[in-house]
Structure 1
Amino acid sequence: MHSLPARPEVEAVTHTARALTESLGDVVRGRPALVRLTVSVLLAGGHLLLEDVPGVGKTTTAKALAQAIGGQVGRIQFTPDLLPGDVTGVSIYHTETHDLQFRPGPVFAHVVIADEINRASPKTQSALLECMQERQVTVDGTTHPLPDPFMVVATQNPVGMDGTYALPEAQRDRFMARAMVGYPDPEDELDMLERQEVADPLASVHPVTSAAEIAHHSTVVRRIYSAPSIKEYVVALVRATREHPMLRLGASPRAGIQLLRAAKAVAVSDGRDHVLPDDVQELVLPVLAHRLLPSADARLAGSTVTETLTQVLAHVPVPVGRTKRALRVPV
């Protein structure tokens, strides 16, 4: 059993979460759920997939997050001719020394912006598999560790648009969560027009934390208390997706691990040192939906993965009884 975090540790993470939320909220107007999910995935040590049509702010969200933590930023523009070595790096032969020297690629950064990831070929997309799961790159038999923290924020256009490839199942499963960015409300869109008429909102984003702090906060988040009933609830939700007749591919064990970890980050962001069933329920759609594949019957019936997950949430019993500890960080 791991040691539970002390009150000052929880308070520090909560303070950082609120600072990041405020910083991103100034740029990503009118989409608090997107900002909340982005901050939670960062603190949980996961990767985020932002999906929607062009021009709604996917890349802006990724850039704002990178600037707010003040770490190293890597930017990869995924195109059909991009090669795996353009992502991870290559070994270059030096005639003077007669040896190979590794030249790191843009993936060697704290926040990697993978822009329009589904415009590259599946072979190039797979270059991120080892990076995202094992936090390392292997080139010519030599393993190179990636920085800590390491987060991939990928953007993609809906599959079916010109020049897009569907992400492989293994790639999607490595993203802790997927967010649909969506259009802002008319009032927020008007505010965006007025603000960006004279200045770039990203120019006002300054670091509110550091990469070292985020790395430490992620270890604190993992130690947040989750009652046995909460863990059983997560397992029940995940297993229900594997048994549902409207799904031909359910959630993996990795999905359950990341769902609980993200729920811990949400709990700390709300000032708690324990996970509630509400935290898990809030994250079921963004954490699980992109990993699931509908069955042939679901396609014929016009049933979506979102509808299926809503049914799962309605039928899996919610834990009752003691799920919390006494400590709470004051708001």
Structure 2
Amino acid sequence: MPALPAPADLELFVRAAELGSLSQAARELDLQPASASASLKRLEARLGARLMLRSTRALRLTPEGERYIVHARRALAALAEGLDSVAGDRAGLRGELRISAPSDFGRALLRGWLDDFQSRHPEVRLSLALSDRLADFYREPVDLAVRYGEMRDSGLIARALLPSNRRVLVAAPTYVERMGAPATPDDIAGHACVAWMLSPVAGGARVHDRWRFTRGRESREMKIEPRCVSDDGALVRDWAVAGRGLAFKAWIDVADDLAAGRLLRLLPDWTGEPAPVQLLYANREHQSALMRAAIDWLIEQARPFEARARAAFAQA
């Protein structure tokens, strides 16, 4: 049986891929540039394949590197899990937890949940990336991601946080006083609208400009022409609160605004499209104790909000 790659070589390879720089990975791991280069060459020689293409400006994975990095991460996770197992109860949870989440959800809910989690486990280091751009688990340093909508990547595992969440049509009281409220989905065409824009990992951005509603057996899909568009969902909410126009937001993002009267729910007899909130991660085979605890904690924190969402759409 061939000798297995050294964990240090795997760690350098994974970190260099995440950072897009061999020299930056070397600095983080306290290695000399020559040692880092030798580590990568040693790993490539052991595998008999080129893993990275390097130039003076950039570093990117080869097709072989794209395939191998998944296994390298799993191997490192398995080693971390082994350390957790041996440590047992001698120490509390420790390590780094890297989470990607939409801006609205991250600021309104997730940050508080993670603050409480970290206060219970002070040895945990937290990295929270708030962006509505979809994270790429296989190229970026992400352990967990919160996303809206149904999971389409079969390589990821999804756990439901808020399965009953839906989009709602909202506007500020000042806007309604000035412009009136639509009585039917068809009336939206006569109103100013603010919209969210999805920025995927690859490909062009897509504006969420088709708003779907149902009422019993009736359905409507409205194609809007927004006056303001942003890839930051929190900014779209701010525009709505400021009276800039109608917004079609996930209920969880505006629930507090609705309760406080900063926004009004419009067309309440029509139901907006589903917007379930999912917690995603790459695999469950070699989860560390930290990952398992974080997943369980987030699911538990979401329970009362899921109950509120079910109540909000009880007639859906």
TM range (shorter): under 0.3
Structure with the largest fraction of strand: 2
Structure with the largest fraction of helix: 1
TM norm structure 1: 0.21
TM norm structure 2: 0.22
Which structure has the greater CA radius of gyration?
A: 2
